[in-house]
Amino acid sequence: MQDKIALEEAFALPRFAEKTQWWAGMFAVDAKKHTTEINDIHKIRPGYMDKYGVGYTVLSYTAPGVQDIFDREEAQALATEVNDYIGNEVKSRGDKFGVFATLSMHDPREAATELTRCVTELGFRGALVNDTQRCGQDGDDMIFYDGHEWDVFWKTCTELDVPFYLHPRNPTGSIYEKLWAKRSWLVGPPLSFAQGVSLHLLGMVANGVFDRHPNLKIVIGHLGEHIPFDLWRINHWFEDIKKPLGLDCKKTIREYFAQNVWITTSGHFSSTTLKFCMEEIGAERILFSVDYPFESFSDACTWFDSAELSESDRKKIGRENARKLLKLD
């Protein structure tokens, strides 16, 4: 399929090449190639896009990125630097590239102000944040965005009418030590990423964020970070047990998924899982993505282009749903 749109596609700052290569060492078989690819915008990436039929890519700053920085001022400065850098890189390439804003999430108002700047002045399409914001004196604490103090930020997202992509980051500090240190091969895509994001998103549901902001648009990757598989069970326990016990979110989990949540195919190229997700949440809520350069255009596109789908569903997932969500007309 030509002219696909991909929206979980990472870039890094070239000045961090050494750090990027160290990080890539944990996740990429060829860390050098990964580093070259993630730092590239204009040479290698458009080559893959043309070869594999991706017409438009939304770029976002790599994980853990700003969410790893527990000093508030340093985090804010890096977010601004990243946004200015990528805004400038793609300024004359709006036909091919969009951007999700990078945000420091230490302070809801500061995050709202930077998002507004990115959308209204730099033409960005929304924001992508890497799960919780690391914080505290020694970086051992973390900020979730599911409390009332974040209402000011979510109000800004809905007023700007842009999506917020909740992307994973690595577990850190004492959480890492307690849960993951002795099972470190499970960090990342095998388990920890999905656990982190699903906890955070379901926290937003349970704490009423979507009731207070019914037009909020959240995107999660990796075919829904395990949640679609569990929808029946979550629904059963929310409706039949937790609500009678006092859980007071107004709608069902299925309704929030129908109104507020989109999922992407990033890094998850299974036709069985895709079909299952289409049955559970509908083709309208699913968006094609690669997860480059953690995954390859070749794997993502070869799979998607030949997956057993109706041509109408392929167009919706490959392009049309994203066009509507990102307002690309």
Alpha helices in 161-219, H assignment, sequence order: 173-175, 192-206, 209-212
Residue selected from 280, 291, 313, 320 as contacting ligand GRE according to rule CB under 6 A: 291
> For residues 105 and 253, which CB has a smaller minimum distance to ligand GRE in the complex?
105
Tokens of 216: 């909020």
Kindly list the catalytic residues: 249
Closer to ligand GRE at the Cβ: 26 or 241? 26
| Helix (DSSP H) and strand (DSSP E) numbers for the chain | 16, 10
Min separation Cβ 222 and ligand GRE, Å = 8
Cis amide bond preceding 214, omega within 30: no
Residue 294 binds ligand GRE (CB under 6 A): yes
| Secondary structure element (H or E) that encloses residue 52, with its range | helix 44-52
Which residue type does 82 have? Answer: V
Q: Which is nearer to ligand GRE, 104 or 170 (CB)?
A: 170
Find all residues with CB under 8 Å of 162, minimum gap 6, and list them: 115, 119, 124, 125, 126, 127, 217
| Near ligand GRE in 63-122, by CB under 6 A | 63
Amino acid at 187: V
Query: Which 3 state secondary structure label does DSSP give 122?
Result: coil
* Assigned token pair, 204: 């937003």
**32 or 233, CB closer to ligand GRE?**
32
CB 77, min distance to ligand GRE, A = 22
- What is the contact mask toward ligand GRE in residues 50 to 69, using x (rule: CB under 6 A)? ------------xx------
If one asks whether residue 27 binds ligand GRE (CB under 6 A), the answer comes out as: yes
Nearer to ligand GRE, 108 or 267 (CB): 267
Nearest to 66 by CA among 113, 144, 135, 138: 135
CB of 109 to ligand GRE, least distance (A): 27
| Positions 7 through 26 that interact with ligand GRE (CB under 6 A) | 10
Number of residues in contact with ligand GRE under rule CB under 6 A = 9
Longest CA span, the chain = 57
Would you give the DSSP letter of residue 62? Answer: P
Least Å distance, CB 169 to ligand GRE, is 8
Nearer to ligand GRE, 104 or 156 (CB): 104
User: In the 8-state DSSP scheme, what is residue 282?
Assistant: -
Backbone angles phi, psi at 223, to 5 degrees: 50, 40
- CA–CA dist 170, 62 (Å, integer): 12
Give the helix ranges, DSSP H, for 92-191.
108-120, 151-160, 173-175
- In whole angstroms, how close is the CB of 258 to ligand GRE at the nearest point? 26
Give the x/- contact pattern for ligand GRE in 150-189, rule: CB under 6 A. Answer: --------------------------------------xx
What's the closest the beta carbon of residue 264 comes to ligand GRE, in angstroms? Answer: 11
Give yes or no for residue 269 binding ligand GRE (CB under 6 A).
Answer: no
Q: Which residues bind ligand GRE (CB under 6 A)?
A: 10, 27, 62-63, 188-189, 267, 291, 294
